[in-house]
Structure 1
């Protein structure tokens, strides 16, 4: 493929037939893609494929993303912002006052079903495209099936009770869509991933196809599916395929980066630790009037310290003045303070201010500890568009340290040996060794702590707490209610005048 995948993605955003696509399952079909004169030539197939990928990194016009929503919901962060009402949808999930009309739930529901919709349209049209060779067609189909599985996996984790749509729904049938048991969703996710794997590439050239799905990514997603189903042996087998027999020996070329901080160098895209990466860039020219429509990463402006002013310029980091969202809690900072991952993870404005090096506004829920991993800097700002909105910092959906720890956990829970020299012990402690820490026994307590420190602010903590059954206890102080807040409410917009029902956890009947 001669064109850079990301450049094609940006170009697609200007194509009217895709820009009109509704980013939701919305039962009102107005504004859907016009397909009559499309899907006729190979370039149409590529652009349609990219439109499915586009949903993976979707950001709402209200600055919502999967990562910032789930970060606000977990115990490592407060919602923050300028005031307790700033980006209300983050505040309501932070204190568990969200409802079925909350934008946080709506964004995640809409994002997932936009991806499903685009995948289904693609799969229904691909056979009618002429001039596309069989190998390319098989790969495209595999990518889209794996993407559909990815979207449905998020939907079933977040909402449990979802419609299972495998074909584009005709307009006159939209009001008749019904949900299916979660087991059926999981079965379809496994089926899609299993069917996709043989036709996905083992590796892709980063320069031209970085961000596209590979066999390793599909196995990693499937491993996570089995973890949620508590199928420990099956999960361990999938992660073993991803991770290899020992650290650095993956059949897919994955290996931990030597320097943990290098993971957050915004130019270090598609590195050897990246399994599935959410891609952003500095060239999409996104502005205040079209937030969410471009490919700049809005997290970089969201998490920066508000009213940031260097006082001693030579000693001050070149942070941009941001909006103070998602500050780390004092509890989390105390946990990571003396860990080698502290500085690459936490922007310690508290320390800088006390030293007289900088000043910043002590905004809502301020602790002085901000997210360093995504922090926007003057040196990383875009050169075109609204500069604050067009940062090119990629984010990891899955990286190797995550799958190392998950394999260790799956082996532990399956009853496999986890003592010194075992596979679980070696993989778990490879994560610690990378940052210069001594080995520890493979116990759930150690795994839970290591995941919290290693993957901080990457969107995993809330899912982990729910998966481990710890959310009601750990998040009680934030308002989490057991047997309710483990899932999100189905948006009201999709309950009205349809057969879709609210989950019983949220007062419904399903």
Structure 2
């Protein structure tokens, strides 16, 4: 880690990643020396560099790192796919629950430590601010704490026991390795800081789209608390979900409309990573750190596609690399008439695409490659404009239903389990029902296919054993053990540390 941290520098970037030019302002970081006083421009430049990390997780460091794909590969929703088992072999190992310290998606480690250092600098800039309006400074500081919590929560989920630091590291540039429970406490502290008072608005619009909100911080807290199974905070989380619900600032739009260009920052969107290739610059094979596009659509779309999707009837899709094929049994989890099926999963007829490794004929639809969505500059397969929907209003409703039905938390305000689950079902075109634990879990799976939720849900529910399988026809033979909730710490990072800071490998590896 020391080599990486020493190499971190702040670059002059387009300040944030919003959909309008007003919020794309370049504030040079040179106006703030390390630890020195910071003008508002310096703070915004540091904060903009924090937001920029949201654009890194598809090809940064020239690794395929899409956070939704890295999460779903260990689930029971998709296979690895691609050319063969050795095509991106580290991802095949990931999918087989068989990652090793030398074969795993190390890019995620690099990306999120980059993010941690950037957020630390933004927070330091806020602490050393001069001439900044008090309310604006409070919002900037809250955004930086929220982003630090968001990025660290991925390190925590993937690796658990990781180094952590909040100050500039001094030679030899090592940091203490925290336990997973200690990291959880740090994440909660940052989220609570962001939520205190009214530093963040419940929602944003116009030029501020893409910025952190109170609703986003509440949803991050919910994800972290529920993954930790921290019952002491369940009532707080449910109160937060009710506050979002009663604010009236979010709703459930038509499901299919969410995933199109026109559906970006819609009524159900709480936080998105805003991909803007074209005039804003694109990634290239030689430089995966810059640019505003994503390669996830190319990654998950069928190779050599020439036909229409048979479930939706749409012919707007184009071919890609054939990774992440959806398992055919996913079709069977939907009730007749569920409008989410045709949007969540694409099915193409034999002969209209080139079948690749672990082919099922089914592919993930939400982020599928669409015609006209990957215009140059940059290399086209790396630069689709599909925004990553990080937090959606549907998660608010499904969190509330779960907390009430499965965990026995008393309802708060107007948001009951019946209201929550049936708003989800009504939008899907389904009849209302009485919520049960089984249904709540099923609706969660139906709603979030392809969004990187399923594996983490199975782990926190204690249902990881369902991932054990032997499917020779799909070259998938894997065994679940509880220690596999964490990946092995990259051996390359262990080798860099020494003495009291020597990284200790996670149990089981």
Asked if Structure 1 and Structure 2 have the same fold, meaning a TM-score greater than 0.5 normalized by the shorter chain, the answer is yes
Per-residue CA distance 1:446-479 (angstroms, 9 max, x = gap)? 1121111110000001111111111123344441
44, 47, 63: which is aligned to 1:46?
44
1:505 maps to what in 2? 507
**Structure 1 runs not aligned, ≥5 long:** 19-33
The residue that corresponds to 2:228 in the other structure is 229
Q: Give, in whole Å, the separation in 2 of the partners of 1:220 and 1:492.
A: 33
**SS in structure 2 opposite 1:360?**
coil
Deviation at 1:207, TM superposition (A): 2.5
Superposed counterparts of 1:107-256, under 5 Å: 107-170=107-170, 172-175=171-174, 177-197=175-195, 198-232=197-231, 234-244=233-243, 249-251=245-247, 253-256=249-252
2:315 is aligned with 1:322: no
Contact residue 153 and residue 189 of structure 1 kept, 8 A: yes
**Ranges in structure 2 where 5+ consecutive residues have no aligned partner:** 1-13, 471-476
Q: How does 1:79-118 map to 2 (within 5 A)?
A: 79-104=80-105, 106-118=106-118
Instruction: Assess if the C-alpha contact under 8 Å between 1:4 and 1:209 holds in 2.
Output: no
Rounded Cα–Cα distance in structure 1 between residues aligned with 2:502 and 2:486: 16
Q: Structure 2 CA distance, aligned partners of 1:178 and 1:121?
A: 19
**CA–CA separation in structure 2 for the residues paired with 1:316 and 1:273:** 23
Mean Cα displacement is larger for which, 455-464 or 469-478?
469-478
Choose which of 257, 274, 298 in structure 2 pairs with 1:262.
257
Q: Report how many residues are paired.
A: 473
How far does residue 344 in structure 1 lie from its aligned partner after superposition? 0.7
How far did residue 164 of structure 1 move? Answer: 2.8
Q: CA deviation at 1:3?
A: 8.5
In structure 1, the partner of 2:348 is: 349
For residues 373 and 66 of structure 2, the distance between their equivalents in structure 1, rounded to whole angstroms, comes to 21
Q: What are the equivalent positions in structure 2 for 1:413-452 lying under 5 Å apart?
A: 413-416=406-409, 423-452=416-445
Structure 1 residue 286 and structure 2 residue 283: aligned?
Answer: yes
Give SS of 2:507's match: helix
Structure 2 length-normalised TM: 0.85
Deviating above 6 A after TM superposition, structure 1's stretches of 4 or more consecutive aligned residues are: 1-4, 8-13
Q: Name 2:361's counterpart in structure 1.
A: 368
Q: Deviations over 1:178-213 (max 9, x none)?
A: 212222222222221112122533245432111111
Q: Distance in 2 between matches of 1:490 and 1:12?
A: 36
Between the aligned partners of 1:440 and 1:111, the Cα distance in structure 2 is 43
Q: Is the 8 A contact 1:239 1:404 kept in 2?
A: no
Distance 1:343 1:280, change over 3 A: same
